């Protein structure tokens, strides 16, 4: 189906934190009204993943499940499709969420991290929308989104919340080996996951602010003890409503004024 892309300023990139629920419907909030669901848009990179648009008070929000990843589509292409739709919709603030492994030995399952930086060890770096910009990643995530997520998480999460951390990005889909986790620890990574890149670059390319909140769902291999599949499953299914509430409440604190300075980190290219 070819559909017209609705205008929206805010976006939620759903990950494993909200995968098990129907987001945002299952929150049953009176200030949420779903406008359309399961809508697929034509993009230059192939059909978009099914997307949902909803109203949150006076804000329009776009959302997608599990980063737009789906069988038969490379994750890089899925991200290009998603961010092309975001750009056309006019998205200005993006919150992503996900589940991560703990590399830092001070972390444990169920800790909540709002990452402040990343190390991209994935092989899918050449993913872009072809716009002529020099993208400065000096301050990768938006300080306003970090502030909003931290404040909300500390008041409603009920577990440990960390307002900084370095996210190492790997390709997946498998988890890392013990030797790889030792390497990640030595590079300065605190957590490991598969989704912060290329999302953080693509957000900068379209001029949108990006921030994210991640739940530690397992110890990385060789850290503390072998992780437990039952516990991972319990976190995966048990904390979804909380993660969803944190994201929605954080949007309530955000404005599209761009005083955060993120857009100044997108410069004109010198390559003509």
Residues forming the site for Zn ion (CB under 5 A): 142, 209, 260, 262
CB of 140 to Zn ion, least distance (A): 11
Phi, psi of 219 (to 5 degrees): -75, 135
Q: How far apart are CA 72 and CA 90, in angstroms?
A: 28
Q: How far apart are CA 90 and CA 64, in angstroms?
A: 16
Residue 62 or 142 having the CB closest to Zn ion? 142
CB of 262 to Zn ion, least distance (A): 3
Residues 96/79, Cβ–Cβ less than 8 Å: no
Q: How far apart are CA 217 and CA 251, in angstroms?
A: 24
Residues 206/177, Cβ–Cβ less than 8 Å: no
CB of 91 to Zn ion, least distance (A): 12
CB of 13 to Zn ion, least distance (A): 16
Residue 92 or 97 having the CB closest to Zn ion? 92
Q: How far apart are CA 200 and CA 203, in angstroms?
A: 5
Q: How, if at all, do strands 191-193 and 133-135 pair?
A: unpaired
CB of 264 to Zn ion, least distance (A): 10
Residue 178 or 255 having the CB closest to Zn ion? 255
Residue 139 or 160 having the CB closest to Zn ion? 139
**Cβ-based neighbours of 134, under 8 Å, separated by 6 or more:** 266, 267, 268, 269, 270
Residue 30 or 259 having the CB closest to Zn ion? 259
């Amino acid at each position: 189906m070819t559909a017209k892309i609705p205008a929206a300023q805010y976006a939620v990139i759903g990950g494993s934190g909200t995968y098990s629920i129907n987001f945002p419907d299952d929150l049953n909030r009176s200030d949420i009204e779903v406008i359309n669901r399961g809508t697929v848009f034509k993009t230059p990179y192939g059909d978009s993943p099914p997307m949902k648009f909803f109203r949150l008070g006076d804000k329009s929000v776009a959302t997608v499940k599990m980063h737009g990843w789906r069988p038969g589509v490379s994750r890089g292409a899925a991200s290009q499709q998603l961010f092309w739709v975001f750009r056309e919709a006019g998205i200005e603030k993006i919150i992503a969420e996900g589940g991560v492994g703990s590399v830092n030995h001070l972390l444990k399952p169920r800790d909540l991290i709002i990452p402040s930086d990343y190390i991209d060890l994935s092989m899918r770096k050449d993913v872009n929308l072809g716009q002529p910009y020099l993208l400065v990643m000096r301050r990768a995530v938006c300080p306003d989104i970090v502030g909003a997520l931290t404040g909300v998480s500390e008041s409603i999460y009920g577990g440990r919340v960390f307002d900084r951390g370095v996210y190492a990005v790997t390709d997946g889909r498998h988890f890392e080996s013990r030797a790889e986790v030792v390497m990640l620890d030595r590079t300065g990574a605190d957590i490991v996951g598969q989704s912060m890149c290329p999302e953080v670059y693509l957000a900068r390319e379209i001029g949108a602010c990006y921030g994210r909140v991640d739940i530690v769902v397992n110890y990385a291999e060789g850290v503390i003890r072998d992780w437990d599949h039952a516990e991972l499953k319990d976190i995966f299914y048990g904390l979804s409503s909380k993660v969803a509430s944190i994201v929605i409440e954080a949007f309530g604190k955000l404005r599209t004024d761009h005083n955060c300075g993120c857009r100044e980190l997108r410069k004109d290219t010198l390559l003509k």
